[in-house]
Amino acid sequence: MKKVVILGSTGSIGKSALDVIRKFPDKFKVIGLAARSSINILEEQIKEFKPKYVAVYDNKAWNELRKKIKNIEIMHGTEGICQIATKTEADIILSAIVGAAGLLPTFEAVLAGKTIALANKESLVMAGELIKTTAKKTNAKIIPVDSEHSAIFQCINSCNKPYISKIWLTASGGPFRGMKKNEIKNVTPQEALNHPKWKMGKRITIDSATLMNKGFEVIEAHYLFDIKAEDIGVLIHPQSIVHCLVEFIDGTYIAQMSNPDMKAPIALALSIPERLTNIVKPIDWTVTSQLQFEMPDTDLFPCLNLAYEALKTGGSMPAVLNAADEIAVEAFLAGKVKFNNIYEIIKKIMDAHNVVPINSIDDVLEADSWARKMAKKEIG
């Protein structure tokens, strides 16, 4: 039986993971849960799964939960979540905290040599090289949870890497696929949050609408699989059935396919090398009769190019990219800026940044802090 710690248990990935664990009580035991502030959901999870360790990031929420839960020590803040992420008895840490807040707990789990099911892509976007080199030293294992990276992981493990020519990440195209540039500039947050295929948190949904999320996935794929930026492509695939294509030097391809449901990559990350039964509904080929693919329109969605630029620049630039995006997306959701301003803000911050090497986690945090301040100043 695998002992599991879930960081971000009240979010969509965390709840999906608990759905999987609930179906297989003989295979998994939840020993740790951590959340930001959604203590009503967390309280119910504690009652059902009876974890040994609990942590809450928000101080007010932590105090409220302590009054309700008396028989478990509840840790708090980044320090408390990091403590849960490094527990000796944990077999696997699911890192599903949204945004830059997931970086330190993930890094601490890597330092502790844990097996990490990684759903927090920002960790690799911000500190990919540092995490990669640290994982080699500590023998930490990183298993991707993003549907596209899980797909690549499954495909390339069945072949010899020197024969790979390119990997292709797929994207649904978001809610604004096919629109004109003059049509997209005045879209509302509500329209941008109306993703056609996936149910996700607000920030990742907006990032999907701008294609920045796919850019982050390009960076993540580079560090996960040691593939050059120019050998990672993006294809718009509105059906979201094909999650990746691996292209080989002989002109052939391997694809990984399933109905769009995050339970599939989550279940695989938790159970590997096994596969669990009846996780997602099989594809009905009488209904799914067409699969479309097209190249992304980077004139309409220029954020994708910013991600490639940040990856090729390296050093502190990816951390700056992520931080500026977080602030710009927050401002868009709050009605302070327009949709097209997201790209403009990020580009200005990247252009103003003097890139430095990343030699420690403090270097990452310093770049992150600088970019946030600059982005807030730009927004006003």
Q: What is the pLDDT of residues 51-60, one digit of tens each?
A: 999 999 999 9
**Which of left, alpha, beta for 246 (phi over 0: left; psi -120 to 50: alpha)?**
beta
Residue 36 has pLDDT above 80, yes or no: yes
Q: Establish if 251 belongs to a structural domain.
A: yes
Q: Establish if 210 belongs to a structural domain.
A: yes
Angle of helix 212-225 versus helix 317-333 axis, rounded to 10: 150
Confidence of residue 71 (pLDDT cuts 50, 70, 90): confident
Sign (positive or negative) of CA dihedral 349, 350, 351, 355: positive
Q: Establish if 338 belongs to a structural domain.
A: no
Q: What pLDDT, on a 0 to 100 scale, did the predictor assign at position 114?
A: 98
Q: What is the mean pLDDT of residues 247-272?
A: 95
Confidence of residue 345 (pLDDT cuts 50, 70, 90): very high
Whether 12 and 89 map to the same domain: the answer is yes
Whether 183 and 307 map to the same domain: the answer is yes
Cα gap 265→269, rounded to integer Å: 6
Which CATH number do you get for residue 139?
3.40.50.720
Whether 129 and 172 map to the same domain: the answer is no
Q: How far is CA 50 from CA 6, 9, 30, 31, 233, in A?
A: 13, 13, 7, 8, 43
Domain end marker among 253, 281, 313 = 313
Yes or no: say if 326 and 369 are a contact pair by the CB < 8 Å rule: no
Yes or no: say if 214 and 173 are a contact pair by the CB < 8 Å rule: no
Whether 141 and 158 map to the same domain: the answer is no
Q: Establish if 235 belongs to a structural domain.
A: yes
Whether 228 and 180 map to the same domain: the answer is yes
Whether 171 and 221 map to the same domain: the answer is yes
Q: What pLDDT, on a 0 to 100 scale, did the predictor assign at position 198?
A: 76
Q: What is the mean pLDDT of residues 35-54?
A: 96
Q: Establish if 116 belongs to a structural domain.
A: yes
Instruction: Measure CA of the first residue to CA of the last residue in the chain; give whole Å.
Output: 52
Q: Which residues contact 3 (CB under 8 A, 6 or more apart)?
A: 28, 29, 31, 89, 90, 91, 92
Confidence of residue 380 (pLDDT cuts 50, 70, 90): confident
Q: What pLDDT, on a 0 to 100 scale, did the predictor assign at position 94?
A: 98
- The 28-35 sheet, strands edge to edge: 74-76, 53-56, 28-35, 2-7, 92-95, 115-118, 141-144
Number of domains observed in the structure of the chain: 2
For the record, the structure tokens of 370 come out as 């600088």
Q: Decide which of 157 and 29 is more confident.
A: 29
Torsion angle (degrees, nearest 10) of CA 317, 318, 323, 326: 140
Q: Establish if 320 belongs to a structural domain.
A: no
Whether 212 and 71 map to the same domain: the answer is no
Domain span at 289: 149-313
Cα gap 251→246, rounded to integer Å: 10
Q: HSE, CB side, 13 Å, CA atoms: give it for residue 212.
A: 27
Domain end marker among 313, 347, 365 = 313
Domain end marker among 145, 161, 186 = 145
Whether 118 and 234 map to the same domain: the answer is no
Q: What is the mean pLDDT of residues 3-30?
A: 97
Q: Which residues contact 55 (CB under 8 A, 6 or more apart)?
A: 32, 33, 34, 35, 74, 75, 76, 77, 80, 81, 83, 84
Residue 288 has pLDDT above 90, yes or no: no
Whether 30 and 58 map to the same domain: the answer is yes
Whether 31 and 171 map to the same domain: the answer is no
Q: Which residues contact 233 (CB under 8 A, 6 or more apart)?
A: 166, 167, 168, 169
Q: Establish if 213 belongs to a structural domain.
A: yes
Whether 156 and 305 map to the same domain: the answer is yes
Q: Establish if 326 belongs to a structural domain.
A: no
Residue 343 has pLDDT above 90, yes or no: yes
Q: Which of the residue ranges 68-77, 133-142, 194-203, 239-248 would you say has the lowest mean pLDDT? A: 194-203
Whether 130 and 154 map to the same domain: the answer is no
Confidence of residue 275 (pLDDT cuts 50, 70, 90): very high
Q: What pLDDT, on a 0 to 100 scale, did the predictor assign at position 97?
A: 95
